[in-house]
Amino acid sequence: MKRGLVAYSSSEDEAPASAPERKKKKLPSLATSLIVPVPVDDPALHQGRVRAIPHVEGQYAAYVYIPLVVHPGTSLFSLVEEVLDVTKEMVPTAHAIGTVVPCSRNSGGLVANNSRRARELHLSLTRPIFLRAHQREDFKQAVKLIASRQSPFQASFATFSELINDERTRAFLSLEVGAGHNELRGLLSALSPIIQSLHQKDFYSQPRFHVSIAWALLDPDTSMNRDADTKRHLCSYGGVIAAEGSSDDDLTGDGGIGESNKEFQSECFPRVPHFPSELIPTLKQRFGARVSSAHTGGFDADIIVVKIGKDIFSWPFQGSLVERVKP
């Protein structure tokens, strides 16, 4: 008896009908208290400057300096104000430098006139340093130890100079230090081991100790032809946000902008190809004798300051002024 063939269904026939796709559920949004805001640079708030080093969570910009507070009524304050007036006439786009601090009491104990405010200038002893949270305390203690060993000393300014940062994004009008240079070199030598242990850059091998009193944004696309128009305006960015509150030329780095800053490109900031070639000679001719005189350009270096992020720490120099003789 012949049996009929039994037809078996293929595997395709056995596969069940595809189930309808399930809708993916969206995860609930994080609470705003759990979201860490990412800093966004706004050049409009910083005269066209943008951050040189990208923000890294848990990393703190730091630098070391000697502060010089220039009080109203002093010959140095008058000199700086006159120099800034002349500079603004020759370079209208220049910005004055110096944290403005309120006057409280003078040396006689009387309340000073608060309508005029002192300028705090900074004599830098390091390049920008970037510290992790766990490195901050050790760095502070190292600088504090240096202060305990350093004696106060007299310093004075010698001349005017134009300095440009490493990225050629800003030019600075500076007062260069003459007397006191050797003591400042000694401070660099004392700071060098701790900076190298952090794998950071030392200060310049041929340092020009100075305080800057004015700056201007530079046009990176303009040649160094000294006859170029110093009033050219460009819609571009390349400045540096200083670490100080706010400092002068201490923070340097790549001045380019990233994708997040494109919304600022429609705003223009005035730039110059360089300071006018006659600026420094004019200042030297008119004010050179005054700035180099001990009466006007002299100052006491008796304190060292560390700024880490927004925190400021200072220690007086406590070394003995007289070398002790062993019995």
- Residue 75 DSSP SS3: helix
Residue 183: per-residue pLDDT? 96
Question: ∠42-46-49 over CA atoms, to 5°?
Answer: 80
Question: Could you tell me the CA-to-CA distances from 80 to 75, 204, 208, 271, 291 in Å, in that order?
Answer: 9, 26, 19, 23, 9
- Residue 309 DSSP SS3: coil
pLDDT band at 242 (very low <50, low <70, confident <90, very high): very low
List strand residue ranges (DSSP E) for 243-327, in order.
269-270, 298-301, 303-308, 311-316
Question: ∠125-128-132 over CA atoms, to 5°?
Answer: 120
**Residue range 147-167: average pLDDT?**
94
Q: Which one is predicted more confidently, 229 or 222?
A: 222
Q: Can you give the residue range of the structural domain that contains 162?
A: 56-316
pLDDT tens for each residue of 209-228: 999 999 999 986 653 444 44
Structural domains in the chain (count): 1
Q: Per-residue b/e over 95-106, b at no fewer than 16 CB within 10 Å?
A: bbbbbeeebeee
pLDDT tens for each residue of 275-326: 999 999 999 999 999 999 999 999 999 999 999 999 999 999 998 754 444 4
DSSP letter assigned to residue 58 = T
Tell me if 44 is assigned to some domain: no
**Residue range 44-61: average pLDDT?**
56
pLDDT band at 56 (very low <50, low <70, confident <90, very high): low
CB atoms within 10 A of CB 185: 13
Tell me if 204 is assigned to some domain: yes
**CA-CA distance, 61 to 81, in Å (whole number)?**
30
Tell me if 229 is assigned to some domain: yes
Tokens 């220049």 sit on residue: 94
Tell me if 270 is assigned to some domain: yes
- Crossing angle for the helix pair 136-149 and 181-197, to the nearest 10 degrees: 150
pLDDT band at 108 (very low <50, low <70, confident <90, very high): very low
Question: Could you tell me the CA-to-CA distances from 32 to 1, 35, 38, 58, 201 in Å, in that order?
Answer: 82, 5, 13, 20, 38
Helix, strand, coil percentages, rounded to 5, for the chain = 25, 25, 50
Residue 315: per-residue pLDDT? 97
Residue 116: per-residue pLDDT? 64
Instruction: Give the CATH number, domain containing residue 185.
Output: 3.90.1140.10
> Is it the case that residue 252 has pLDDT exceeding 60?
no
Residue 75: per-residue pLDDT? 96
pLDDT band at 40 (very low <50, low <70, confident <90, very high): low
Tell me if 13 is assigned to some domain: no
Tell me if 301 is assigned to some domain: yes
Q: Which two tokens stand for residue 89?
A: 């006439």
Tell me if 293 is assigned to some domain: yes
Residue 59: per-residue pLDDT? 82
- Residue 176 DSSP SS3: strand
Tell me if 132 is assigned to some domain: yes
**Residue range 200-207: average pLDDT?**
89
pTM over 0.85? The answer is no
> Is it the case that residue 158 has pLDDT exceeding 90?
yes
